[in-house]
Amino acid sequence: MTMLKSTIAALTLSVAASAALAENPMVGGAAMLADRNIVENAVNSADHTTLVAAVQAAGLVETLQSEGPFTVFAPVNDAFAALPEGTVESLLLPENIDTLTTILTCHVVGATAMSDAIAGMISDADGTYAVETLGGYTLQATMTDGMIQLEDENGTVATVTIADVVQSNGVIHVIDAVLTPAM
């Protein structure tokens, strides 16, 4: 009887774990596993190779692998490609690490903020919610046609295209633009 109870408990745990993992969306053609941290998942996304290179160049890998919690608004490669020609290459140079770090930390919040919570904060704040980033900058969160949008201090608007990608140390929301602070 004890063996049967153990088998049922293991099966229940397995089904629950599978259901939890199945809820996480695929990103960049890769499964995003909720038991992995932000960096461990991001390196598997074909849509985030530029972001991963930038995080590595800025020396932020260890930070984003730490306990967190973090919410990362993760721009896709196309968002970086839309920047003026030469911008990404320039930011990746060692002499520009401070600027790169500032831009990257403009995409990170020191809490786990799921999309329903963000939508609720937007609603509670009469349509615009100020999001303070770890870089010390403020993004304005709004809803347009049921989609969360973030506006940076320069007026660039990014839309969350994939929400609620659960990580062991927070959550990733995929966005379609690179956000920059007013400098």
The per-residue DSSP string of the chain comes to -HHHHHHHHHHHHHHHHHHHHHHSPPBTTB---TTS-HHHHHTT-GGGHHHHHHHHHHT-HHHHHSS--EEEEEE-HHHHHTSPTTHHHHHTSGGGHHHHHHHHHTTEESS---HHHHHHHHHHTTT-EEEE-TTS-EEEEEEETTEEEEE-TTS-EEEEEEEEEEETTEEEEEESS------
Q: What superfamily does domain 2-175 belong to in CATH?
A: FAS1 domain (2.30.180.10)
Q: How high is the pLDDT of residue 27?
A: 87
Report domain extents, the chain: 2-175
pLDDT digits (tens, 9 = 90+) for 31-59: 888 999 999 999 999 999 999 999 999 99
pLDDT for the residue 11: 33
Please provide the average confidence, as pLDDT, over all residues in the chain. 87
The pTM assigned to this predicted structure is: 0.85
